[in-house]
Amino acid sequence: MRFWLGASFTDTGQYLELARAAERCGFDTLTLSDHLFYADFASPYPYSRSGRPRWDARTHWPDVWVTIGAMAAVTSTLRFAPNVYIAPARDLFTVAKQVSTAAVLSGGRVSFGVGVGWCKEEFLATGQDFHTRGRRLDAMIPALRELWTGRAMTVDGLPELSIAPVPDRPVPVIVGGDSEAALRRAARLGDGWIGNRVYTEEQFEGVLADLRASLREHGRDDDGFEIVAPLAVMPDAATYRRFAAKGVTGTMAAPWWLATPEEKARYGEDTLELKIATMERFAEEVIAKM
């Protein structure tokens, strides 16, 4: 079981120290989310009962790849991944160059967490078609993999082309989402799957069964396939061992979400000091015992 640090909603100025602390505490991967702007969205947010986002205009959404590049420069073993990057809101070559450059500069410490997105307004702002985003992502993933090899290829009638720099090993593609289409996409095109919501054990059992059915449908099993599930359980080594036995390869935690009243009183709400203190406690009580 590998532990991914869910660092979305973090103040941009905290990320470098947070990355250093995550590496020191034994987290495998640090994740952050992707949004372009805040607005009074008409699009319903799929991960809240109200359909409204859980953040406001003051919440930081730093550029994923700039931030990963900066964090990679102050760490040596920690991996990074967006959860998730809305690739079809951009063109193929912008995505290819961003990910490739981050993978090279980090020494291969990048996974490509990717999804189709829910926010129609962001697609309108970037001039991409919201309604064909799933179909375009299906075509984009194999094209990205080919571009990341550095080999010359043809795309959409353009002259034969290639990009540089490219990483010296494949970038893992981890597909996010738990809709039927997302699970099929992960099974067909992904090196793994990552959840976009926090699951109870009962909810996750259903998602896991559907994911494995999709893998079988495409002639695959979950051997070597990443399954990263944010789980609504109290952090306990025995509980995580049980999920590992089910085939879960990783889970996501933001330990400061479970800060004790004493920790909040000592370090303050949402401070870097609180985040690091709770990460260190999580490392001692959970990661070290796995």
CATH number reported for the structural domain that contains residue 45 in this entry: 3.20.20.30
- The pTM of this model reads 0.95
62, part of any domain: yes
As a whole number, mean pLDDT of residues 172-178 equals 96
8, part of any domain: yes
Is the pLDDT score of 46 beyond 90?
Answer: no
pLDDT of residue 209: 95
105, part of any domain: yes
* Banded model confidence at residue 227, pLDDT cuts 50, 70, 90: very high
Q: How many CB atoms lie within 10 A of CB 64?
A: 24
Q: Quote the number of domains for the chain.
A: 1
Residues 6+ apart with CB under 8 A from 79: 28, 29, 30, 109, 110, 111
pLDDT of residue 54: 85
229, part of any domain: no
As a whole number, mean pLDDT of residues 220-238 equals 91
pLDDT of residue 45: 87
Is the pLDDT score of 104 beyond 90?
Answer: yes
276, part of any domain: no
As a whole number, mean pLDDT of residues 205-217 equals 95
Is the pLDDT score of 156 beyond 90?
Answer: no
218, part of any domain: no
Element (H, E) at 241: helix 237-245
As a whole number, mean pLDDT of residues 260-268 equals 97
Domain span holding position 91: 3-171
204, part of any domain: no
98, part of any domain: yes
